[in-house]
Structure 1
């Protein structure tokens, strides 16, 4: 890893944000969530806006496939819609990362959050008027994902300007916990609200939540690009420079690779329906399916609430390796059990491991990259996080139909462990990385 010009002696990028306030936690605070970043008003505003939208965005995430299924009666169309959103998300996340490095990130957040709010209003209009057009829904979904792709790199890259280096894991834990809570609460709330207020109003609630986000962003300080990037252009050349930067800074490349290993080889969600119908049918197929889908985010929320136990660790690379191995072990256990409650426990443990991995991979991205490159790094991160599970769906679905669900899941978990151990042994720059 070449860090001679872009990082400090210990491998971490110099910080432009607030200076650290080091205080040793005492008593229960040693294991409870580290809330130090919330003492900083700018970060607190950014985080507070996430609380509102985490649930609101999940209302739309439930409403769109439900509406498509109601129109077509086909799950295949629901799958096509998911793919329709992937390409604009990937393209605009890469471009959005370059834009985030060349313009004021606060301004970019205002534009993209406003675009997301307008898109949610358009979703509401088409549903309220009874348009019943799958084409319109897929176009709006693609537009929404494009705005999300532009928004996410700027939002994540801004964190390192709002908190000091030693609080980055805590800040990532706070944000990730809110998002995972939304994954649990949002679908449950959507299921309760649809029979009461109807489908179209879910879109309207999301639009109102996004308006609150816009107001929170208005109150952020200006986040202009650093001098080195002030005159850069957000074109394909800038995107290519981002990939070259990754190739020259091995720890960044390895952090992406660790996530790809965990998600592509070890994310078994495509096999949950098969598990519910075959292995766990005696427990009730509907109950089993709901528990399987909820277990990982519930575990991640639990990991976030107890993140004080790990968020102060300084050996970030070693924490990523341990978390991915833990994920693989939990997925292997899922494949080996025939007891639903044991399976749920293994998935919850996987969720905890995923939270630890998210916290420290995010911290590595923010600390190992210079500010003029953070947007592009977050753009690549968004593509990896969004694309990995979709590739896993195809891989596990195919393997499950050939080998059976349990064998495919257990095999995937073992592959995660083996591949991560090889990665750790072959690349000392990741396992020795620390701030």
Structure 2
């Protein structure tokens, strides 16, 4: 398998705890996609307004950003397994609430969006701790492979979950759809229960609290070129070249607005991501993870510029598939780089920043694309954004040699002045 670059399955053989967690989180990811479709369908049926379907994203994004940063401080101050257990219980409670309001046919939009926000907040509180699990459960040389397996689960959930959700809604209704997610999140809870205690390493009592703790994590990122270079690369890629908000306009002006074509756009990105995950051994076994990350982010920009110029449908879909594959490679290599270059004392807070960038960057990038397209055109927004992304990533590569040369064996010395210590 290593010779042809297929996905590295070593983590599933070396850690039973990681395997149980991965299986549970995979099922939970499918459930989350099912609920996403159910919420979209229910809000549309209530309002028939694109404004309110867009408000679902706002209801998720705000608690993700705020609670994600707070979750990072908690992950560095308490047992991470315990934190994920309680936040998963909170998610189960929120989804049960969604099932209850659907069963009672309350038709209450503020309640529905409030429950969505609670679920997002619980997920965000536990997300930084979850991101540290591969680092704590796997050997150093398998961390990238563990992250790749998690990403494969997410990509497959994106393919399977929405279709399954639509079938369940059509056959049995919204209540059953939400209850399916309850079962899926319970599977995720079972996976977390199988983990050993995962207290943070180092002197927890000596660490700052609250806002000071968040600032301490940001200070570490600013002082380590590998960390701030990785974060800036992600911001450049998502802020400048996010294409999804432009799909409907491109579909209208080039392909007659056929809804099937719009679905093909989304599927092409997911197919590219799944293929990259299947062959992620090429990434996880790569020695220079920093160079892989920078190269993949550049390919992402080039592919989306190509999508903006593509005339035939097959070429447009091919460009999107390449973009999806490049995004998966970039996320895998960046996640491994950040996890391996961060001391455990700060791993929760740094992971929370990575989570916030991953949650907020695409939403802001889609907003930017829509603004540029409104003033100019969708093709111009795509091409200019893709090219600016390439220029930005190449600038990072030229000015950040530590990121460019980062390998699995690299671990930067602790910066002076940090308040925490590392064993």
Smaller-chain TM-score bracket: over 0.9
Q: Post-superposition shift, 1:308?
A: 1.5
The answer for the alignment partner of 1:32 in structure 2 is: 6
Shift of 1:399: 1.2
Aligned-pair CA distance for 1:430? 1.3
1:227 CA drift (Å): 2.9
What SS does the corresponding residue of 1:279 show, helix, strand or coil? Answer: helix
- Residues 202-241 of structure 1 correspond to what in structure 2 (within 5 A)? 202-229=177-204, 232=207, 234-241=209-216
2:35 to 60, 66, 80: 60
| Structure 1 residues 390 and 26: alpha-carbon distance in aligned structure 2, compared to 1, 3 A threshold | closer
Q: Give, in angstroms, the shift of residue 230 of structure 1.
A: 5.1
Does the C-alpha gap of structure 1 residues 135 and 26 become closer, same or farther in structure 2, counting only changes over 3 Å?
closer
Q: 1:160-207: CA deviations, max 9, x gaps?
A: 010111111111111001101111111111122211011221111101
Deviation at 1:157, TM superposition (A): 1.1
Whether 1:243 and 2:224 are equivalent positions in the alignment is: no
Q: Write the distance in 1 (CA, Å) between the matches of 2:127 and 2:206.
A: 22
**Cα distance in 1 between the residues matched to 2:168 and 2:383:** 37
Equivalent of residue 148 in structure 1, options 117, 123, 135: 123
Q: What are the ranges of 5 or more consecutive residues in structure 2 without an aligned counterpart?
A: 409-423
* Runs ≥4 residues deviating over 3 A: 230-234
- Structure 2 residue aligned with 1:193: 168
The answer to whether the Cα contact below 8 Å between 2:22 and 2:191 also exists between their aligned partners in 1 is no
Deviation of 1:234 after TM superposition, in Å, equals 4.5
**What is the TM-score normalised by the length of structure 2?**
0.94
2:283 touches 2:333 (CA, 8 Å); kept in 1?
Answer: no
1:433 alignment partner, SS class: coil
Q: Distance in 1 between matches of 2:74 and 2:145?
A: 26
The aligned counterpart of 1:311 is 284
- The normalised TM-score by structure 1 is 0.91
Whole-Å Cα distance in 2 between the matches of residues 45 and 102 of structure 1?
Answer: 25
Distance 1:162 1:378 in 2: 16
1:165 partnered with 2:147: no
User: Is the Cα contact below 8 Å between 1:45 and 1:216 reproduced in 2?
Assistant: yes
2:421 corresponds in structure 1 to: none
Asked if 1:328 is matched to 2:301, the reply is yes
Name 1:181's counterpart in structure 2: 156
Counterpart CA distance in 1 for 2:227 and 2:399 is 15
In structure 1, what is the Cα distance between the partners aligned to 2:68 and 2:198? 19
Q: CA deviation at 1:393?
A: 1.4
1:153/1:378 contact within 8 Å kept: yes
Return closer, same or farther for 1:26/1:368 CA change in 2, 3 Å cut-off.
Answer: closer
Equivalent position to 2:79, from 104, 119, 122 = 104
CA contact (8 A) 1:65 1:78 kept: yes
**In structure 1, distance between residues paired with 2:383 and 2:350:** 32
- Structure 1 residue 115 corresponds to structure 2 residue 87: no
Distance 2:390 2:82 in 1: 42
Question: Aligned partners of 1:112 and 1:338: how far apart in 2?
Answer: 47
Task: Give the direction of change, closer, same or farther, for the CA distance of 1:345–1:226 in structure 2 (3 Å limit).
Answer: same
Cross-structure match for 2:111: 136
Out of 423-432 and 318-327, give the one that drifted further. 423-432
CA distance in structure 1 between the partners assigned to 2:287 and 2:133 by the alignment = 21
Report the CA distance between 1:401 and its aligned residue.
Answer: 1.8
Contact 2:21 2:194 in 1 (8 A): no
Please name the residue that 1:382 is paired with.
355
Distance 1:173 1:329 in 2: 23
In structure 1, runs of 5+ residues without a counterpart are: 1-24
- The CA deviation at 1:229 is 2.0
The equivalent of 1:125 in structure 2 is 100
User: What is the count of residue pairs matched by the alignment?
Assistant: 407
Root mean square deviation of aligned Cα = 1.3
